[in-house]
Structure 1
Amino acid sequence: MKAFYSSLLLGGILGLLCLFATSTVAQSLAASDKKIFRTLSGYVREAKTGTAMTGVHVSVPSLGVGTTTNSAGFYTLAVPAKWSVRPLIRISYSFVGYQTENLTADLNFNSDMNIELKPELTNLREVVVKSNAATRKASESVQMSSLSVPIQQVKEIPSLLGEKDVLKSLQLLPGVQKGSEGSTGLYVRGGGPDQNLILLDDAPIYHTSHLFGFFSLFNGDAIKSVDLTKGGFPAHFGGRLSSVVEMQMKDGNRDRISGEGGIGLISSRMTLEGPLKKGKSSFLISGRRTYADLILKPFVPSISDHTGYFYDLNLKATFDVTPNDFLSVSAYTGEDRFVYKTNGSVTQENGNLRWGNSAGTVRWQHRFNNALSATTSLFYSLYQSRVNMNRDVMSEDEVVTYALRNLSGIRDAGLKSDFTWNAGRQHTLRWGLALTSHQFRPSSTTMLDGASGKPSADSVALNSWEGAVYLEDTWRPAEGLQINAGLRYSGFTSEGMTYSHPEPRVSVAYSPGRNWAVKASYASMSQYIHLLSNSGIGLPTDLWVPSTPRTAPQRSQQVALGIAKDFTSGTTLTIEGFYKTMDNMVAYKEGASSLSIGNTQVAPNWEDQITYGKGWSYGAEFLLQKKVGRFTGWAGYTLSWTQQQFDELNFGKPFWARYDRRHDVSLVGIFHVNDRITLSGTWVYGTGQALTLPQGQYWVQGSNGLKKLGDAKPYYTQRVFSEYGERNNFRQAPYHRLDIGIQFHKKMGRRERTWEISFYNAYNRQNPFFYYLDAVNVSTEPQVKKIENRLKQITLFPVLPSVSYGYKF
């Protein structure tokens, strides 16, 4: 513990020294380099709503320098001050779907230049703020392995039952594998779903799905931008091995009250936004709820025995406190509930399942001067699930009750602070610190109910602390060459054990011109929390646990090499190869699970049920993406290999991971026929998942040779046992699916309505959800039985049509 707090104290001192050095060097530069650089900075907002615009391209064409605005709409740009020749320069502001604006700056002074952009007169139908990758050129950025999908494209892509889903859109990108049919799980470059850091306005979200994984909890109407980083991580990212998904909620309309909503087959949604004080502050309220239980209950009497629903609610308020201080408060809450009851002649069963998330963030953005700014966030996140299931097995003389009690939860409360300093044209420094308090409550029990009474679901709280400090610099030593180098130092303490790791990061990009670049990166990552999963599809019975003296943190190292090319048509081509190793991974031992028999508190015992191992993944990714014009979309292809090795699994030999897929293809197309009709379609193909299936079966007859089994002899005799070969020795059939959709828009003044008709799995592909063995009589003679085991599959979704109605005002 002392070592942990010593690390944090050292980090705090480092941060203060950096801040002092920054201030000192800034004053020095102002004095000595007064005639070399000028700083241009300001905020870019949308003219109609006052919303901060992320990713606006700000450039000085005559000098060949440029930048983009951050999530607050702020930009800062250092330019050489050659005012003796040309004191006035033209600054250009451009963004897809908006009119390009130009301002004139006098290089005799540092300048604050705020501007509002107006929508293109030819594209008034959509007034939206898209993610920053919509305009940023891939060849201009040192960052690699970073992707995004504009929110408007998310809303136009056809989806399951018409529910627009941010995470399922990310599954269509190269390097991201999907889990089972219809699930929202993300498997990024060989990593598991617990290795993804999902951030909603800086607050971590631990369970990201509704309805047992079929829909994500992120309502697209409330999200402003979504960015995925899967490699080449800058030093300000940390805590997970495989990816970071950053989502920013919309700020709200500062000009007038507006809203949008929709009615679909399984849910309805509504978003309302407007000014608290016109031009200075705003609010946003967005909610969604399924209603199948409400609609069917009056007509189906048995609905009370089998019912379930989910809801989520997003809230946000933003305030311009001063010209240099901006405050935002955001919150999310959502929950799933499922209740069922069965009545059979031999067994009766009932269950009650509840799980959900709550999260909140208070974010303060402050600008010290034109070159130095800071963002500080206080966040809170809570995930908890409660599962209560009972089964009564009835016989002639008694009733035996089996009960499952599962209580899982993780609570985070933390602080993070980031500073950015534009130290001239060659250097952009970024540093900061983060501190998080974790509380884990893993508990699960399966018991036979006897004289001792009902089993309890009490849990033991496991408290831990996680902290980190970082420093990084984006250096431009020569024309066309950029280097982002940084160091993150992280620490974790739990149960009296302290871990600390340095995590070096470096990315290099060289652009010889003509809008193309060669890039390379290396990143070392540490992850101090683990997910114990029985199924791999994100059920509420999964347990989050911390690193302990017995369970070391997960570590990874990743290298990547690629090229990026921007074409004049607004199309970008990226090709990347990667190699990643992962150590200290955890998995259940053979036959073990979180459903421990006879224990009312699994927290002290879960480490006895797991084994430790390593994994590695390598491959190549290709992406051709177009985000502007009447036709947009992308084509992605991934060729990859993912293997794992555990001492107590598969006899210690390496095996293919369940989510290893040799080939993965995604084609996405969106065509705006005119202002009233939009056509869209997606086609996906993937190598089948790896599964473990029995290679044979045998029957144990009664024999005197089994007498050494003693009391266990009756269990082993007269039974059929399966013989399994190597782990994950079987491949499912390849997965492929076509989704198509059409949207009909009608604009009526400030209002707009949209009808959408879509078909999920349009050609009715029978994709496997899972397999099972069934005994089948294959005899051709009526009086003779010949029983053979046949492999059968369950298909979850046939062709599914859907219709939805949306509106804006």
Structure 2
Amino acid sequence: MRNRLLVLLCVTILGCLYTAAQEAEPSKNLDSVLIQLQERFDVQFNYASVLVDGISIYPPDASLNLKESLNYISEKSKLDFVFVSDRIISIKLKKILLCGYLKDKDSGEALPYVTVQNGSNGVISNEEGFFELEIKTIEDIVQIRHIGHKPIRREARFFNAGECGTIYLVPNQEKLAEVTLYDYLIRGIDKLDNAAFQIDFNKFSILPGLIEEDVLQSVQAFPGIQSVDETVSNINIRGGSNDQNLISWDGIKMYQSGHFFGLISMYNPNITQKVELRKNGTSASDTDGVSGTIAMQTETYLNPKLKGNIGVNLLDANGFVDTPLGKNMSLQIAARKSISGFVETPTYSEYFNRIAQDTEIERNNGTVTNSDLSFDFYDASFRWLYHATDKDRFRTNFIYTTNSLNFNENADVSGTTEIRESNLTQSSIAGAFNYQREWTENFSTEANFYETYYKLNAVNANILEDQRFLQTNEVSETGIKLTAKNRIAQQIHLNSGYNFIETKVTNLDDVDDPRFVRLEGEVLRAHAVFGEMGFSSENSKTQLNLGVRYTYLEKFKKQLLEPRFVLNHSFGQGFNVEVLGEFKHQNTSQIINFQNDFLGVEKRRWQLSNDESIPVITSKQASLGLSYNKTGWLMDLVSFYKKIDGITTQSQGFQDSYEFVRTAGAYDATGIDVLLRKQLNKSNAWLSYAYLKSNYFFNELPETGFPSNFDITHIITLGANYTLNDFLFAAGLNWRTGKPFTQPIADNEVTDGNINFGNANEARQDDYLRVDISAKYEFKFGRKTKAQIGMAVWNVLNRDNTINTFFRTNSLNQLQIIEQSSLGITPNATFRLFFL
């Protein structure tokens, strides 16, 4: 034992002596060390003198060979030695790779398309938030910039180079809504703490019956939202008519919503990435939409690489491209066109028959026939982003869409065959410019300008009367909104601004024989100022937003004060309560003068309020909600009450004794929306129920109170989807009580050619029932290409659902009942290529 201790002591002493000897030897300039190695090993070093200037090291031990000596120097100097040949060695600066995962500090979500820069060298994080950046030294300055977050500027050594850790970015002063309920129905549909629902098509899964992400069909999956006639141009939010919905696209108010005159959405989902739906609790910065708001948004990220897709289904062909234009700009372009000019598919035939029911297209009296029917639709849109600096961001948007219907009317007149063309076009064109400026970490401004134009035009040729009837409805609107956002404390932010809107509506009726022309044009200018305060508790469990909007209608010298209120509070284990309230108004509405206007296809025309026969529509709404979300179970229950004043009989689509009555009134709506959802590992299943009680109140009508035309008392939706790797499947059932309608008095239906109607909306159609399925599959199609195939069937059971019932008399003064049917079994299929 003593011998072992003695040996250990000797080794320790010798080691200390060797170390002392090494330390005693002074360090040398690296340049002189390299010269010694050249002479010793007969090699030559090639390098720029600036690489070794100022570097001093202790020479390598004489016992080390050449490679060992170079490894020693590399470790001490951060230089790399590359053998060009056996005797020539090149010296380069060693590469340092900085990498990491970028995430939002509050939500923990990955942040794609973040700019990470070192001098002139920069990269963009991928969709998972990962980046790799080559730097020269750990003292290099690295900058990280992303819209909506505070920039980071620090030396590379503070990022733990090479470890690829997580780097959190702090949200900027603008308070963005946080998600309170993830995957509300399916993946990609969430509920926010400001009471809005958000659909993110970047994460979207699949809904029953939808083969592609139809924006306005998707919102009908929520409780309390449905369409009494299956069209996206007639969406009813808690008993309201479609014209009471504010539909906007990147801040532009839109007056048209659908292709195929309402059967599919006209907003291309490839470029429309997010949708926010509000039933109540609207921000004070927004106006219009007394029943609800559907706000669509394009992507705000600068895309670092070219990507796109092309696809075709049984209705249209479409394409999309997203391309960078340098480091600070990107451009998105999307287009879609119907394929009916090339092939008539079963889907097209079913859609066309649906819109042609009880219209000028379908009618003929034996002597007049229709031929050469043709229908076409197309749309194009683009979005341009430019981030001039870290503080200045510009955006430009444009959209153009058209529906066109043409057919010939044929008849024998005095032994000669006469042919005249009738046609109908519906189009929208709109553009916007947006500028955002971040002045300080706590203060920013935003300016938004838009121009939107809508036109509905019809030419109805009457051969037997030798008459041509031209009708036009035009809406032109200019909007300017200036907003200032200020964070005055960590939990308190203030938004304020000014909003100017000028709306012009023109209606033309022109008959050539006998000559009759009626041209009406109205202009209304509205000035508004708004302010709102947001408060968030330190633990983020309580969110409060208080706002007020003051509007002055220049033409009427009318003033409107509209408070808004949102309270969201989380408590216990998975419970959340929300209280919402708002006052709103709108100055436009859609009216029907005659059921055969515009060939009977799209018979509604936009009309400005005149503050007399067509009042400014005002609303008051309140709701109380409670939700529970834990272990995959979600239960959400909301009760509501709203009162809408200033509606007209013309805007409600009466087809009974009140069809030609012109008077103003109101309606109220009370009800509950309920959702029960279970989330499993690979699937979601949900059951929703909506109860609604809605009544009209018209003082000048014999019946001062009766059920509204949109009083659908009970609605039940049952759905489920399943995901297995790249395969997605969904199935759903929709059931609701029938729509109200007015029946004639039994045994006394017609008197002197006039129908004797009973109590208004006392009868109801049969219950509505529809079952839908859909499926998608994605697979690799190449190294940078993937493909998607899909198939969906709407109304699998081919049930004949009645969506409208009304009565007319024939030439013999006999009563006729007319029932319009829903879509029958309607298949659709798609194929799409994605270029990554």
> TM-score per shorter chain, which class?
0.7 to 0.9
For 1:731, the aligned partner's letter is: R
Is contact 1:293–1:303 with CA below 8 Å preserved after alignment? no
1:281 aligned to which of 329, 332, 341: 329
Superposition deviation, residue 45 in structure 1: 4.4
Task: Tell me, in whole angstroms, the C-alpha distance in 2 between the residues paired with 1:695 and 1:54.
Answer: 65
1:318 matches 2:361 = no
C-alpha spacing 1:284/1:235, structure 2 compared with 1 (3 Å) = same
Q: Does 1:74 align with 2:148?
A: yes
Tell me, in whole angstroms, the C-alpha distance in 2 between the residues paired with 1:581 and 1:101.
Answer: 54
How far is the alpha carbon of 1:163 from its aligned partner?
A: 5.5
Q: How many residues align?
A: 654
Aligned partner of 1:386: which letter?
N
Distance 2:438 2:209 in 1: 41
SS for the counterpart of 1:167 is: helix
Find the aligned partners of 2:809 and 2:551 in 1 and give their Cα distance: 55
Candidates 504, 516, 520, aligned match of 2:563: 504
1:694 to 729, 744, 747: 744
Shift of 1:254: 2.1
Q: What is the distance in 2 between the residues matched to 1:312 and 1:426?
A: 43
CA contact (8 A) 1:492 1:528 kept: no
Post-superposition offset of 1:271: 0.4
Q: Does 1:103 align with 2:195?
A: no
State the shift of 1:722 in Å. 2.3
Q: Is the 8 A contact 2:529 2:549 kept in 1?
A: yes
Separation (CA, whole Å) in 2 of partners of 1:751 and 1:626? 34
Name which of 396, 421, 443 aligns with 1:372. 443
Quote the offset at 1:721 in angstroms.
3.6
**Secondary structure at the counterpart of residue 728 of structure 1:** coil
Q: Indicate how the Cα distance of structure 1 residues 73 and 577 shifts in structure 2: closer, same or farther if over 3 A, else same.
A: farther
Q: 1:619 aligns with which of 666, 671, 674?
A: 671
- Output the CA distance in 1 between the equivalents of 2:307 and 2:538: 48
Tell me the residue number matched to 1:555. 618
Q: What secondary structure does 1:365 align onto? A: strand
Give 2:628's aligned amino acid.
Answer: K
The secondary structure found in structure 2 opposite 1:194 is helix
For the Cα contact (< 8 Å) 2:190–2:197, is it kept in 1?
no
Give the CA deviation at 1:171: 1.1
1:772, distance to aligned residue in structure 2 (A): 5.9
Secondary structure of the 1:171 match is helix
TM alignment of 1:587-736, pairs within 5 A = 587-588=649-650, 610-624=662-676, 630-632=682-684, 634-649=686-701, 651-675=702-726, 677-696=727-746, 698=748, 720-736=753-769
**Aligned-partner Cα distance in 1 for 2:125–2:527:** 31
Tell me the distance in 2 between the aligned counterparts of 1:166 and 1:426: 34
For 1:774 and 1:449, locate their aligned partners in 2 and report how far apart those are by CA, in whole Å.
27
How big is the shift at 1:282?
0.6
Distance 2:201 2:554 in 1: 39
Residue 547 (structure 2) aligned to one of 462, 483, 486: 486
Question: Following the alignment from structure 2 to structure 1, what is the Cα–Cα distance between the partners of residues 296 and 674?
Answer: 24
Q: Relative contact order, CA 8 A, sep 6+: which one is greater?
A: 1
Say if 1:789 and 1:361 are closer, same or farther in 2 by CA, change over 3 A. closer
1:761 paired with 2:832, answer: no
Using the TM superposition, name which of 460-469 and 332-341 deviates more: 460-469
Q: Which residue pairs with 2:508 in the alignment? A: 443
Deviation at 1:416, TM superposition (A): 0.8
Q: Which residue of 1 aligns with 2:494?
A: 429
Q: Are 1:417 and 2:482 matched, yes or no?
A: yes
Q: Give the letter for the 2:826 counterpart.
A: L
Q: Which residue of 1 aligns with 2:134?
A: none
Displacement, 1:459? 3.0
Contact 1:554–1:585 (8 Å) recurs in 2: yes
| C-alpha spacing 1:432/1:44, structure 2 compared with 1 (3 Å) | farther
Structure 1 residue 259 corresponds to structure 2 residue 308: yes
Question: Counterpart of 1:694 in 2: which secondary structure?
Answer: coil
Q: Is the 8 A contact 1:165 1:216 kept in 2?
A: yes
**Structure 1 Cα separation of the partners of residues 114 and 538 of structure 2:** 40
Letter in 2 for 1:74: G
Alignment partners' CA distance in 2, 1:461 and 1:112: 46
SS at match of 1:156: coil
What CA distance in whole angstroms lies between the structure 2 residues aligned with 1:254 and 1:244?
29
Question: Shift of residue 344 of structure 1?
Answer: 3.9
CA deviation after TM superposition for structure 1 residue 46, in Å:
1.4
TM-score, length of structure 2 as denominator length: 0.71
Structure 1 residues 592, 449: CA separation in 2 closer, same or farther (over 3 Å shift)?
Answer: farther
CA separation of 1:340/1:376 partners in 2, compared to 1, >3 Å: closer, same or farther? same
Quote the Cα distance in structure 1 between the aligned partners of 2:128 and 2:709.
Answer: 37
Which one-letter code corresponds to 1:566 in the other structure?
Answer: N
CA distance in 2, matches of 1:203, 1:254: 23
Contact between 2:202 and 2:273, CA under 8 Å: does it hold in 1? no
Distance change (3 Å), C-alpha of 1:590 and 1:46: closer
Deviation at 1:645, TM superposition (A): 1.6
- Contact in 2 for aligned 1:235/1:488 (Cα 8 Å): yes
Query: Following the alignment from structure 2 to structure 1, what is the Cα–Cα distance between the partners of residues 460 and 818?
Result: 29
Q: 1:799 aligns with which of 811, 815, 825?
A: 825
- CA distance in structure 2 between the aligned counterparts of 1:515 and 1:696, rounded to whole angstroms: 56
Q: 1:204 aligns with which of 253, 274, 284?
A: 253
Assess if the C-alpha contact under 8 Å between 2:753 and 2:809 holds in 1.
no
Structure 1 residues 239 and 803, CA gap change in structure 2 (3 angstroms): closer
> Counterparts in 2 of 1:213-292, with a 5 A limit?
213-251=262-300, 254-277=303-326, 279-292=327-340
| Equivalent in the alignment of 2:112 | 46
For the residue of structure 2 that corresponds to 1:212, the secondary structure is coil
Distance 1:164 1:628 in 2: 23
Q: Distance in 1 between matches of 2:652 and 2:776?
A: 50
Q: 1:540 deviation in Å? A: 3.9
1:433-475 CA distances to partner (integer Å, 9 max, x unpaired)?
2111111112235x5824x4xx45x633322211211111112
Partner of 1:770: 804
Choose which of 435, 439, 454 in structure 2 pairs with 1:383: 454
Contact 1:441 1:461 in 2 (8 A): yes
Match of 1:341 in 2: 408
Cα distance in structure 1, aligned partners of 2:667 and 2:126: 41
- Which has the higher mean CA deviation after the structures are superposed, 239-248 or 767-776? 767-776
* AA aligned opposite 2:309: E
Compute the displacement of 1:524 (Å).
0.9
**TM-score normalized with structure 1 length:** 0.73
* Deviation (angstroms), 1:328: 0.9
Structure 1, unmatched stretches of 5+, are: 1-38, 57-71, 78-88, 91-99, 114-129, 394-399, 594-605, 701-715, 777-786
For structure 2, the 5+ residue unaligned runs are 1-104, 116-122, 130-145, 152-157, 174-182, 350-368
Q: Alpha carbons of 1:584 and 1:274: their partners in 2 closer, same or farther (altered >3 Å)?
A: same
Distance between the aligned counterparts of 2:108 and 2:573, measured in 1? 29
Change (3 A) 1:656 1:348: farther
8 Å contact 2:647–2:666 — kept in the other structure? yes
Alignment partner, residue 466 of structure 2: 401
Aligned-partner Cα distance in 1 for 2:127–2:278:
17
Give 1:112 deviation, angstroms: 8.0
Distance 1:472 1:222 in 2: 31
From 759, 770, 774, the equivalent of 1:737 is: 770
CA contact (8 A) 2:749 2:756 kept: no
1:155, 1:164 within 8 Å by CA — same for their partners in 2? no
Q: 1:369 to 1:133 in 2, by over 3 A?
A: farther
CA–CA distance in structure 2, aligned partners of residues 356 and 436 of structure 1: 21
Residue 149 of structure 1 corresponds to: 199
Q: Does the C-alpha gap of structure 1 residues 772 and 192 become closer, same or farther in structure 2, counting only changes over 3 Å?
A: closer
Matched residue, 2:356? none
1:39-71 C-alpha deviation (Å, 9 max, x unpaired): 999998414999999999xxxxxxxxxxxxxxx
Larger C-alpha radius of gyration, 1 or 2? 2
For the structure 1 residues 272 and 142, does the alpha-carbon distance in structure 2 shift closer, same or farther, using more than 3 Å as the test?
Answer: closer
Paired residue for 1:305? 372
Alignment RMSD, CA only? 4.1
CA contact (8 A) 1:44 1:74 kept: no
Report the counterpart of residue 63 of structure 1 in structure 2: none
Distance 1:304 1:414 in 2: 43
